């Protein structure tokens, strides 16, 4: 994703709006065992404030995760507010890298900046719902959808016979 700052740099405009709808590689999400549910939408407004360009906007996409508790797949919505400053590398001595994103030339590739923002927004332990009941450790039932079957486990007929002897009842 590249934003062209030519007009802003030449001061023919004071601000510029950018809109992207791009596919990001799922490789980015491998450490999180996730994948993108669709494209990454970015709306960005950039204003010239002299030496520095001020950029603000938002990024929206979704990531498909496997819930850490119930193992069902779900889409985690990613909504990130973007807010950063851009300065030309000629001002490298005036700013630190925490303050601005440096650009040399007219085009700024914001892909890695956005990738970092996405990674920072993702949960380490993705949950389909905060109240996800997870799976029963005994019978494996998804407790969000069904009840535990542990007590219904098939009883060995020999034990059943023993129970009858003990209680003295006939079936
Ligand atoms: Zn879950
Ligand atoms: Zn169970």
Which pLDDT score is estimated for 100?
Answer: 93
Residue with tokens 């023993």: 162
Residues 149 and 106 in one domain: no
Closest ligand to the CA of 151:
2
Tens digit of pLDDT for each residue in 76-115?
A: 999 999 999 999 999 999 999 889 999 999 999 999 999 9
- What mean pLDDT comes out for the span 39-66? 96
Closest ligand to the CA of 133:
1
Which pLDDT score is estimated for 129?
Answer: 96
Closest ligand to the CA of 65:
1
Query: Ligand 2 mean position to 16 CA, how many Å?
Result: 58
Residue 126 lies in a domain: no
What residue numbers bound the domain in which 140 lies?
Answer: 135-171
Residue 161 has pLDDT above 80, yes or no: no
Closest ligand to the CA of 153:
2
Kindly report the backbone phi and psi dihedral angles of residue 127, in degrees, each rounded to the nearest multiple of 5, phi listed first: -125, 135
The tally of CA atoms less than 13 A away on the side-chain side of residue 85 is 16
Closest ligand to the CA of 146:
2
Which pLDDT score is estimated for 158?
Answer: 66
Residues 140 and 91 in one domain: no
Residues 113 and 140 in one domain: no
Query: Ligand 2 mean position to 147 CA, how many Å?
Result: 7
Query: Ligand 1 mean position to 66 CA, how many Å?
Result: 8
Strands 52-66 and 101-103: unpaired
Residue 130 lies in a domain: no
């Amino acid at each position: 994703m590249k934003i062209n700052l030519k007009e802003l740099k030449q001061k023919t405009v004071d601000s510029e709006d950018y809109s992207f709808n791009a596919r990001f590689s799922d490789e980015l999400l491998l450490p999180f065992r996730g994948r993108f549910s669709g494209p990454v939408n970015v709306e960005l407004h950039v204003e010239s404030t002299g030496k520095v360009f001020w950029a603000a906007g938002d990024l929206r996409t979704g990531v498909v995760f496997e819930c850490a508790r119930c193992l069902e797949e779900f889409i985690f919505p990613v909504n990130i507010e973007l807010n950063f400053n851009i300065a030309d590398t000629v001002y490298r001595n005036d700013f630190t890298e925490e303050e601005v994103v440096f650009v040399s030339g007219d085009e700024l590739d914001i892909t890695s900046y956005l990738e970092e923002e996405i990674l920072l927004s993702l949960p380490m332990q993705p949950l389909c719902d905060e109240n996800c009941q997870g799976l029963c450790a005994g019978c494996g039932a998804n407790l969000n959808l069904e009840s535990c079957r542990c007590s219904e486990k098939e009883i060995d007929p020999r034990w059943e016979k023993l129970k009858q002897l003990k209680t003295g009842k006939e079936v």
